Amino acid sequence: MRYQLYYWPHIPGRGEFVRLALEAGGAQYEDIGRTPEESGGGRPGVRRLLETTEDGRLPYAPPILGVGKLLISQTAAILLYLGPRIGLVPKAESVRLWAHQLQLTLADLVVEAHDTHHPIAKSLYYEDQKPEALRRAADFRALRLPKYLGYFENVLAKNLDGDRHLIGKSLSYPDLSLFQVFAGLRYAFPRTMESLSGAYPRLMALHERVPMHPRIAEYLASPRRMPFNQHGLFRHYPELDAA
């Protein structure tokens, strides 16, 4: 099976969660947003898919996964579909649903991290809502971030197959997504994450373990891996960070 991933070419964003899974699973895929516009890719290629569908099921926003004539949008839904097909979650329904729950919780964390720098409106510049961002970020650092990190630390601790993974004994797509979120948080809040890291040894170990996976190691060292930047979900504003 060959997949098509539709996502914006200038940010890792939510598309990176899907990209990490495709890479770890050894799947063949075409990254439409990062292919030349003259070949039907780039931003125009992504926009075109958002405006026209054959079955009337119009996706709201990327990422979108193309599988033949099937189109799947929403990151968690894409990974729910992909996971058992590329060996990144067991096929048992109860386990697939547990992985889906973890992914949705990570999606909640991503939204809260994003809203530290855009707490009022995405249509406004950060500078237009800076006072609100300072208040939102302070609450996020003090209360919300430790709550999320503590939850995932506890999930690792309670895994009956050991604390190396969120699910079972091998790498799953929630592990990959947690790695990406952790990396994004370290980019956006380096001082805060440094001060908190000692409290979550299992999370730290997982964050260091995921890049050792052969396919992920190759991907991270390749030009296909897009760095975090000031246009994405995770943005670094020093005044929003704290020791």
The string of DSSP letters for 202-243 reads HHHHHHHHGGGSHHHHHHHTSTTSPPP-TTSSS---GGG---
**Interatomic CA distance for residues 56 and 177, integer angstroms:** 30
Query: Over the chain, what is the mean pLDDT?
Result: 95
In a domain, 243, yes or no: no
User: Could you tell me if 146 and 175 lie in one domain?
Assistant: yes
Domain boundary among 67, 85, 103: 85
For residue 243, is pLDDT > 70? no
Across the range 51-64, mean pLDDT stands at 84
Question: CATH number, domain at 72?
Answer: 3.40.30.10
pLDDT tens, position by position, 60-87: 999 999 999 899 999 999 999 999 999 9
User: Could you tell me if 75 and 142 lie in one domain?
Assistant: no
In a domain, 233, yes or no: no
For the chain, report the end-to-end CA distance as a whole number of angstroms: 47
Cα–chain center distance at 173: 10
In a domain, 69, yes or no: yes
User: Could you tell me if 101 and 73 lie in one domain?
Assistant: no
- Give percent above pLDDT 70 in the chain: 99
In a domain, 224, yes or no: no
In a domain, 228, yes or no: no
Binned at pLDDT 50, 70 and 90, residue 106 comes out as very high
Domain boundary among 68, 85, 102: 85
Domain boundary among 45, 65, 85: 85
pLDDT at position 55: 73
Q: Which domain holds residue 170?
A: 93-213
User: Could you tell me if 45 and 108 lie in one domain?
Assistant: no
**Interatomic CA distance for residues 210 and 165, integer angstroms:** 10
User: Could you tell me if 73 and 110 lie in one domain?
Assistant: no
| pTM of the predicted protein model | 0.95
User: Could you tell me if 60 and 76 lie in one domain?
Assistant: yes
In a domain, 63, yes or no: yes
Question: CATH number, domain at 207?
Answer: 1.20.1050.10
Angle at which helices 93-114 and 75-85 pack, to 10 degrees?
Answer: 150
User: Could you tell me if 74 and 100 lie in one domain?
Assistant: no
User: Could you tell me if 68 and 129 lie in one domain?
Assistant: no
User: Could you tell me if 108 and 150 lie in one domain?
Assistant: yes
For residue 148, is pLDDT > 80? yes
pLDDT at position 144: 98
In a domain, 226, yes or no: no
User: Could you tell me if 141 and 29 lie in one domain?
Assistant: no
pLDDT at position 155: 98
Domain count, the chain: 2
For residue 58, is pLDDT > 90? no
Spell out the alpha helix ranges (H) of the chain.
15-24, 42-51, 75-85, 93-114, 130-139, 145-158, 173-188, 190-196, 201-209, 214-220
In a domain, 117, yes or no: yes
User: Could you tell me if 74 and 98 lie in one domain?
Assistant: no
User: Could you tell me if 159 and 59 lie in one domain?
Assistant: no
pLDDT at position 51: 84
Which amino acid belongs to residue 170?
S
pLDDT at position 57: 81
**Interatomic CA distance for residues 163 and 156, integer angstroms:** 5
pLDDT tens, position by position, 11-39: 999 999 999 999 999 999 999 999 999 98
